[in-house]
């Protein structure tokens, strides 16, 4: 049969002798090239780096020392780690953290894993896109005060750092083009650039879910697989806002030129007095834009390591993943008593994907199992991201 | 008489597919056409997407599928209102990937105006029509010698070209047809968005002698597209397809194209009647497309595309009485450059990537037997190298083509 | 009032446009008839009649008889300084740079929105905390204006950072980019006082809102829980990406000041914190952060904005309020 076929067809191919050859030339303009070892799988697109602060290992290492240094706060009591602890995927386990002066931050500490990939950096701010811009907020902010550095004490804080021998070489290696990177007027900028480099270099793409998508079918339990299908179903609609390799729609990388506004959504958590209000000052995007249509709009979080970052939502007002799922299942949160009384399900800004659905306890367990499969134990145990001022812990957090 | 009439009918596969204008003599006509074909194998597996390497595809270019399938069904009604005016309505169905896509649609609905006698030479038409610039593009499966549409037309025009628009042309007078068409842009590769749309110009000459007849022509078509999707699989709300256990299914990558497609072509067709029983024919078209625009997607990835793609076919055939034996050899070459940070991914997901420098080819050997006046049978052997993995398949098909009203009469109008 | 500056002009005339030609530039710079004169406008801060002194207690600050307040901060940006002639023409004051015409830490040279000065009226160390001299202390605006032969009836200026520069990268890392071309937008790298505010705890930039603090007035209130009554004036209801120069604010919140009968030979400008706070009970926080950080729902802002003649929800713009800005006689 095949011979007959070839006998019939091959002579026809003589009709086409001498045609030119095809090719598709592809030029990604260097988007997949980086001198820095990001310690992540090669399928992950490289993140955007600002031209003024290209990441280097030396800046990353300096940033790591600074990140864990309590001398970087006004009274020496707090470091970045105070609110961003490795074993909790760089969150702190409390609803709302407290700064050096005792002021309680209105919002929940976020995981900073993969911060280099988010489109906007904080819960409700549509304009904060560079980690370098964000870092000055906890350092120098006054509403709320976090690390408490201010004009009056910044020289003192700097002098505490200058006294540490570790920094002499770390600064020199991180900023080799500067003659005196720790002492001249650029010192604070250098601190910020180094901290930003450490945060930018924190990559977490090693969960069981990643193993599963790479083809290791038994990396997920049957329950997690059922949960994954629910997650991706039109019933739960989770995947619309928690999509892609970062598991959030708020994503940017070197391959993307965002052509739509950064995503912020209202999930129907509040509806104070029935006028769709969220409790001050946590009004989300509205806090900056002042538009009523932006009331209660917050950035969709990456769900990577989500099982480690309780409590949840922008103000830490939801204790467990189960409660988060139940809020979504109800199509919002109905608060029946207290100062925030109101039916969030009726919030006028609520995203259309937040529709109620019925879900069984087994299904909730399955979705939670899927969310737990997004935990990257390698990341939270990686000495690369651990406190350099202490000897490594002999603690294995793998269950 | 019957013999001559039959000859006129089954000559159709090998001669020009004249654009039909109902005549004042036979003011109302109803025609039906249907092609059903059995194929020995599918070009691609279920849960895969047909994407010729090095190209962007779309429209209605569905892959050949194993088993019996109605390739096409058309029912058309034409009516001459008066000396100058006529209207045509045609509905049709096409083979598709799923029921959603294989439904019946309105292919033609247009009104024509003939000026300045009842034969022209000027004709203006407006409504939903097939484009006339390339004869093969307007050809129905019932009229074509091979069962499958030319590969180049599948790739560059998404197989079927029906669009809303207007046409003004000099109609088959003195052997010459020439005109211009303007399109809303519903037909691939344009879009019907505010900056989309398409237009074309064409000219052809046809000559008929005692034994020899030929036609040749050239055309230029230009389309603008905005965020054009491959509507075969994408363009709307995307779902991960549900595959049975053991199969894997991936969501279609909804990569869009915004930019211009400038396409031109030349075509020729020669018939030589060797004897009362034997006619030789040679058919061919060569098409070149330049694609200039941006590939992009919903998550903000972009890359610039500059593509030059050429394709065509050559089709010698021999008709002996009611049997036609033919060979169609098709080729496509693509030369694309994709530049931008997301170029590797967008090229791969759009289908433009061509890591093996593959040259798509397809060879079809055809036996067409006009069994009855209105029923033909067809068998083919196809070597399909449109993908890097070659597919060999056989086909057997039946073609029904008939004028239902006004019964047996002249098949078409004549020109002086 | 006839302003005669010929004597001064004779000493310190800036030569631009003075070559004897018939040049009559209308964009300032002076000419034969109206040569440029050097001008320095001093500012001071007071609480009532008493000079602002870091750490000093002032009784009777605020409404309802007032409370004790301790001077803590008094800084403001100003730009678009111009003189008004008797026939209602505005003559711009061109702010000076350094000897090379470059920006200094206190002044970005230029006129209109290009000329921006940061006034820092804290008399002691940074943060008003010690007895050391405040290195950023700056109590005057210097420049030139073609007013030698003009009849000047008033001085006008705007408080704050002009919209064009309000959303640049205060750390001076990068210029804003044109979204279409990706090219840097000229002049959008922070310099002078705009850069100084973004370095370290500069204090005059809202890092979280991507905008400058137009004015920062603070008093400590020993009897209040919050400790400090802040007045941080900044633009609000902003949208758009700062890095592409697309950020636009519905409320600029840049007070326009006009001081009549101003004579630069005789007068300075007084900023009266007591007047600014006279509508608020400074011991009470009516919502939001202590004091007024310009938030539209912060009731503490009503009195502040009324006195700055800035629109605000529920503010009474017709009231007769004590003047925050006034002239004072030079010694």
Smallest Cβ–Cβ distance between B327 and the set A5, A12, A232 belongs to A12
State which residues of chain B have pLDDT below 70: 1-18, 96-102, 237-240, 408-416
Selection from A119, A67, A79, A85 nearest residue A309 by Cα: A85
Give the C-alpha distances (Å, rounded to integers) separating A116 from A36, A250, B111, B146.
Answer: 14, 11, 60, 55
Instruction: Say which of A52, A125, A150 has its CB closest to residue C208.
Output: A125
CA–CA gap between residue A384 and residue A376 (Å, rounded)? 14
User: What pLDDT is recorded for position C4?
Assistant: 40
Inter-chain Cβ pairs, chain A and chain B, closer than 8 A: 130
Distance from CA of A328 to the nearest CA of B (A): 21
Q: Is it the case that residue C21 has pLDDT exceeding 50?
A: no
> Which residue from A127, A142, A188 is facing C242, i.e. has the nearest CB?
A127
**Contact flag C200-A122 (C-beta cutoff 8 Å):** no
Please report the pLDDT score of residue B10 as a whole number. 40
Residue C179, pLDDT above cutoff 90: no
Residue ranges per structural domain of chain A: 3-200, 208-376
Interface of A with C (CB under 8 A): 50-53, 122, 125-130, 132-134, 136-137, 139-143, 149-154, 185, 187-189, 192, 280-281, 287-291
Question: Which residues of chain A have a CB within 8 Å of the CB of C238?
Answer: 127, 288-290
Nearest CA in chain A to C203: A151
CA-to-CA distance for A225 and A231, rounded, in angstroms? 10
pLDDT at A14: 66
**Chain B residue whose CA is closest to A5:** B381
DSSP letter at A82 equals G
C262–chain A Cβ distance below 8 A for any pair? no
Q: pLDDT at position B128, please?
A: 96
Which residues 225-244 of C are in CB contact (within 8 Å) with A? 230, 236-243
Query: Per residue in C192-212, pLDDT tens?
Result: 999 977 778 788 998 888 899
Closest to A259 in 3D by CA, of B408, B205, C241, B12: C241
Average pLDDT, chain C: 87
The answer, yes or no, to whether residue A276 has pLDDT greater than 70, is yes
* Interface touch A28/B344, C-beta < 8 Å: yes
Q: Does the structure show a pLDDT above 50 at C297?
A: yes
Distance CA B192, CA B204 (A): 28
How remote is the C-alpha of A259 from its chain's centroid?
20
Helix, strand or coil, per DSSP, at residue A151: coil
Mean pLDDT along residues C92-107:
95
- To probe the interface with A, which of B307, B343, B379, B387 has the most A CB atoms within 10 Å? B343
To the nearest whole angstrom, how far is the Cα of A385 from the nearest Cα of chain B? 29
Residue from the list A51, A137, A290 with its beta carbon closest to the beta carbon of C174: A51
Work out the average pLDDT over C28-32.
Answer: 54
**Domains A3-200 and A208-376 fall in the same CATH topology:** yes
3-state SS of chain C is CCCCCHHHHHHHCCCCCCCCCCCCCCCCCCCCCCCCEEEEEEEEEEECCEECCCCCEEEEECCCCCEEEEEEEEEEEEEEEEEEECCCCEEECEECCCCCCCCCCCEECECHHHCEEEEECCCCCHHHCCCCCCCCCECEEEEEECCCCCCEEEEEEEECCCHHHHCCCCCCCCCCECCCCCCECCCCCCCCHHHHCCCCCCCCEEHHHCEECCEEEEEECCCCCCCEEEEEECCEEEECCHHHCCCEEEECCCCEEEEECCCCCCEEEEEEHHHHCCCCCCCCCCCCCCEECCCCCCCCHHHHHHHCCCCCCCCCCCCCCCCCEEEEECC
What CA–CA distance (Å, rounded) separates B228 from B237? 14
For residue A183, what pLDDT band results from cuts at 50, 70 and 90?
A: very high
Tell me whether residues A133 and C251 touch, CB distance under 8 A. Answer: no
Confidence at residue B129, expressed as pLDDT on a 0 to 100 scale: 95
Mutate to test the interface with A, among B249, B342, B346, B385 (most CBs of A within 10 A): B342
Where residue A326 falls among pLDDT bands split at 50, 70, 90? very high
DSSP string of A190-259, one letter each residue:
HHHHHHHHHHHT-----SHHHHHHTT-GGGS-HHHHHHHHHHTSTTT-GGGTS-TTTTSS----TTB---
| Residue B48, pLDDT score | 87
Cross-chain Cβ contact A252/B392 below 8 Å: no
Over residues A214-259, the pLDDT tens digits come to: 999 999 999 999 999 999 988 999 988 998 899 999 999 998 877 7
pLDDT band, residue A20 (cuts 50/70/90): low
Asked if C247 lies within 8 A of A127 by C-beta distance, the reply is yes
Q: Contact B337/A20, CB-based, under 8 Å?
A: no
DSSP-assigned letters across all residues of B139-180 = --TTTSSSSSPPHHHHHHH-S--EEEEEEEEEEEETTEEEEE
- Contact of C171 with chain A, judged by CB distance below 8 Å, is answered with yes
**Distance of residue C152 Cα from the nearest chain A Cα, in angstroms:** 40
Are A398 and A378 contacting, i.e. CB atoms less than 8 angstroms apart? no
Return phi, psi of residue B151, to 5°.
-60, -40
Cross-chain residue pair C289–A153, CB shorter than 8 Å: no
What is residue B140's predicted lDDT score, i.e. its pLDDT?
87
Per-position DSSP letters for B233-264, written without gaps between them: T-SS---PPP--TT---------EEEEEEEEE
Is the pLDDT assigned to residue C9 strictly greater than 50?
no
- pLDDT, residue A18, reads 58
- Cβ pair B327:A11 closer than 8 A: yes
CATH number of A208-376: 1.20.1420.20, 1.10.760.10, 1.10.940.10, 1.10.260.40?
A: 1.10.760.10
Contact B360 A22 (CB under 8 A): yes
Q: Domain A3-200 classified CATH 3.30.70.1450?
A: no
Q: Under an 8 A CB cutoff, do A154 and C200 touch?
A: yes
Q: Do C239 and A139 touch (CB under 8 A)?
A: no
**Mean pLDDT score of chain A, rounded to an integer?**
92
Task: Select from A19, A28, A244 the Cβ nearest to the Cβ of B359.
Answer: A19
Nearest CA-CA partner of A315 in A94, A104, A96 = A96
pLDDT at residue A188 greater than cutoff 60: yes
Nearest-CA residue of chain B relative to A243? Answer: B299
A256 contacts on B by Cβ (under 8 Å)? 299-302, 341-342
CB C154 within 8 A of CB C325: no
All domains of chain B, ordered by start, with CATH?
2-405 (2.40.160.10)
B vs A contact (3+ beta-carbon pairs below 8 A): yes
Separation of alpha carbons B114 and B84, rounded Å: 5
What is the signed CA dihedral for A155, C235, C43, C272, rounded to 10 degrees?
-100
Q: Nearest-CA residue of chain B relative to A17?
A: B331
Task: Answer whether A281 sits within 8 Å of C209, measured CB to CB.
Answer: no
B373 vs B364: CA distance, rounded Å: 25
Contact B354 A8 (CB under 8 A): no
Beta-carbon contacts of residue C77 (< 8 Å; ≥ 6 apart): C116, C117, C118, C119, C159, C160, C161, C193, C204, C212, C214, C215
Closest residue in A to B359 (Cα) is A22
The answer to whether the CB of A263 falls within 8 A of the CB of A246 is: no
Interatomic CA distance for residues C325 and C245, integer angstroms: 32
Are B189 and B152 in contact, with CB atoms under 8 Å apart? no
Dihedral angle computed from the Cα positions of residues B6, B7, B12 and B18, in that order, rounded to the nearest 10 degrees? -100
Residue with tokens 């964000």: A134
Distance in angstroms between the alpha carbons of the first and the last residue of chain C: 20
Judged by CB atoms closer than 8 Å, whether chains meet at A8 and B296 is answered as no
Per-residue pLDDT, averaged over A348-364, amounts to 94
pLDDT at position C190 over 90: yes
Terminal C-alpha separation, chain A: 60
Q: Are A136 and C250 in contact (CB < 8 Å)?
A: no
Using a CB-CB cut-off of 8 Å, the residues of chain C touching A139 are 201
Residue in C171, C230, C240 closest to A132 by CB: C171
CB-based contact B300 A2, cutoff 8 Å: no
Q: Which residues of C touch A185 (CB under 8 A)?
A: 199
pLDDT recorded at residue C13: 38
Q: Chain A: nearest CA to B111, how far in angstroms? A: 42
Say whether pTM exceeds 0.90: no
Distance in Å, alpha carbon of A337 to nearest chain B alpha carbon:
40
Q: A149 to chain C nearest CA, in Å?
A: 7
């Amino acid at each position: 049969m095949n011979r007959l076929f070839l006998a019939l067809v091959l002579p026809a191919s003589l009709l086409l002798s001498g045609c030119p050859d095809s090719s598709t030339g592809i030029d990604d303009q260097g988007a997949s090239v980086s001198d820095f070892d990001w310690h992540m799988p090669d399928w992950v697109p490289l993140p955007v780096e600002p031209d003024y602060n290209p990441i280097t290992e030396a800046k990353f290492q300096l940033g790591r020392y600074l990140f864990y240094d309590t001398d970087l706060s006004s009274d020496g009591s707090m470091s970045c780690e105070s609110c961003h602890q490795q074993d909790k995927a760089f969150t702190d386990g409390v609803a709302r953290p407290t700064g050096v002066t005792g002021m309680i931050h209105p919002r929940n500490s976020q995981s900073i894993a993969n911060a280099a990939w988010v489109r906007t950096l904080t819960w409700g701010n549509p304009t904060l896109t560079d980690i370098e811009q964000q870092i000055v907020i906890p350092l120098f902010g006054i509403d709320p005060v976090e690390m408490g550095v201010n004009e009056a004490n910044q020289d003192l804080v700097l002098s505490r750092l200058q006294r540490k021998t570790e920094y002499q070489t770390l600064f020199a290696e991180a900023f080799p083009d500067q003659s005196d990177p720790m002492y001249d007027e650029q010192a604070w900028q250098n601190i910020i650039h180094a901290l930003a480099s450490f945060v930018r270099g924190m990559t977490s793409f090693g969960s069981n879910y990643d193993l599963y998508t790479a083809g290791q079918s038994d990396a997920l339990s049957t329950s997690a697989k059922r949960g994954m299908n629910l997650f991706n179903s039109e019933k739960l609609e989770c995947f619309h806002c928690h999509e892609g390799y970062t598991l959030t729609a708020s994503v940017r990388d070197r391959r993307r030129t965002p052509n739509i506004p950064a995503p912020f959504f209202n999930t129907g958590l509040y509806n104070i007095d029935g006028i769709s209000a969220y409790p001050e000052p946590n009004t989300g995007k509205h806090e900056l834009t002042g538009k009523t249509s932006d009331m209660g709009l917050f950035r969709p979080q990456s769900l990577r390591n989500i099982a480690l970052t309780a409590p949840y939502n922008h103000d830490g007002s939801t204790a467990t993943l189960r409660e988060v799922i139940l809020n979504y299942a109800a199509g919002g949160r109905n608060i029946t008593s207290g100062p925030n009384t109101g039916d969030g399900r009726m919030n006028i800004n609520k995203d259309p994907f937040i529709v109620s659905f019925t879900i069984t306890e087994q299904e909730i367990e399955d979705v939670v199992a899927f969310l737990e499969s997004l935990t990257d134990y390698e990341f939270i145990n990686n000495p690369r991201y651990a406190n350099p001022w202490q000897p490594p812990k002999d603690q294995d957090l793998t269950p | 008489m019957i013999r001559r009439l039959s000859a006129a009918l089954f000559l159709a596969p090998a001669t020009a597919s004249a654009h039909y204008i109902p005549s004042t003599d036979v003011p109302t006509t109803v025609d039906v056409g249907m092609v059903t074909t059995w194929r020995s194998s599918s070009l691609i597996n279920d849960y895969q997407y047909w994407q010729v390497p090095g190209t962007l595809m779309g429209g209605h270019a569905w892959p050949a599928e194993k088993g019996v399938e109605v390739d096409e069904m058309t029912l058309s009604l034409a009516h001459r209102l008066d000396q100058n005016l006529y209207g045509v309505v045609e509905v049709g169905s096409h083979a598709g990937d799923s029921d959603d896509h294989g439904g019946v649609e309105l292919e033609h609905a247009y009104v024509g105006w003939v000026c300045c006698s009842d034969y022209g030479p000027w004709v203006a038409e407006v409504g939903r029509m097939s484009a006339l610039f390339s004869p093969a593009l307007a050809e129905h499966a019932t009229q074509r010698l091979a069962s499958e549409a030319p590969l180049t037309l599948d790739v560059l025009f998404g197989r079927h070209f029906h669009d809303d628009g207007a046409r003004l042309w000099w109609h088959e007078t003195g052997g010459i047809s020439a005109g211009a068409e303007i399109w809303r842009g519903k037909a691939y590769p344009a879009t019907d968005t505010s900056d989309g749309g398409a237009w074309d110009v064409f000219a052809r000459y046809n000559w008929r002698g005692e034994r020899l007849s030929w036609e040749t022509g050239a055309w230029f078509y230009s389309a603008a597209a905005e965020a054009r999707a491959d509507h075969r699989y994408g363009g709307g709300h995307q779902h991960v397809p549900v595959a049975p256990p053991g199969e894997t299914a991936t969501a279609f990558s909804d990569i869009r194209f915004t930019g211009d497609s400038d396409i031109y072509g030349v075509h020729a067709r020669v018939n030589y009647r060797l004897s009362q029983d034997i006619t030789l024919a040679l058919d061919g078209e060569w098409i070149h497309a330049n694609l200039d625009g941006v590939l992009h997607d919903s998550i903000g990835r972009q890359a610039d595309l500059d593509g030059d793609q050429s394709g065509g076919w050559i089709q010698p055939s021999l008709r002996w009485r009611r049997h036609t034996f033919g060979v169609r050899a098709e080729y496509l070459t693509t030369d694309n450059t994709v530049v931008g940070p997301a170029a590797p991914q967008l090229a791969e997901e759009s289908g433009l990537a061509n890591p093996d420098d593959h040259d798509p080819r397809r060879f079809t050997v055809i036996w067409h037997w006009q069994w009855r006046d209105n029923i033909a049978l067809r068998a083919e052997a196809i070597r399909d190298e449109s993908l890097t993995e070659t597919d060999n398949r056989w086909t057997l098909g039946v073609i029904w083509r008939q004028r239902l009203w006004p019964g047996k009469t002249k098949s078409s109008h004549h020109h002086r | 009032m006839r302003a005669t500056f010929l004597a001064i002009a004779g000493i310190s005339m800036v030569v631009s446009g003075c070559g004897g030609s018939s040049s009559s530039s209308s964009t300032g710079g002076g000419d034969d008839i109206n040569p440029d004169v050097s001008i320095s406008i001093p500012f001071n801060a007071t609480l009532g009649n008493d000079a602002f002194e870091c750490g000093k207690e002032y009784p009777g600050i605020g409404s309802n008889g007032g409370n004790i307040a301790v001077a803590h901060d008094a800084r403001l940006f100003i730009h678009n300084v111009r003189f008004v002639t008797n026939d209602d023409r505005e003559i711009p004051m061109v702010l000076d740079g350094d000897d090379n015409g470059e920006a200094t830490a206190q002044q970005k040279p230029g006129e209109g929105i290009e000329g921006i000065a940061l006034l820092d009226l804290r008399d002691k160390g940074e943060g008003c905390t010690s007895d050391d001299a405040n290195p950023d202390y700056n109590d005057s605006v210097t420049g030139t204006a073609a007013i030698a032969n003009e009849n000047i009836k008033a001085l006008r200026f705007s408080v704050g950072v002009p919209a064009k520069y309000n959303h640049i990268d205060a750390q001076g890392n990068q210029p804003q980019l044109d979204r279409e071309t990706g090219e840097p937008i000229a002049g959008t790298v922070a310099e002078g006082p705009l850069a100084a505010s973004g370095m370290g705890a500069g204090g005059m930039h809202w890092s979280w809102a991507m905008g400058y603090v137009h004015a920062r007035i603070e008093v400590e209130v020993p009897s209040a829980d919050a400790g400090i009554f802040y007045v941080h004036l900044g633009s609000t209801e902003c949208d758009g990406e700062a890095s592409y120069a697309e950020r636009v604010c519905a409320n600029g919140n840049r007070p326009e000041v006009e001081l009549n009968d101003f004579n630069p030979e005789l007068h300075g400008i007084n900023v009266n914190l007591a007047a600014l706070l006279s509508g608020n009970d400074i011991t009470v926080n009516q919502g939001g952060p202590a004091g007024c950080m310009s938030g539209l729902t912060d009731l503490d802002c009503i009195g502040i904005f009324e006195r700055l003649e800035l629109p605000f929800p529920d503010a009474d713009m017709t009231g007769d309020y004590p003047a925050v800005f006034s002239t004072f006689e030079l010694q």
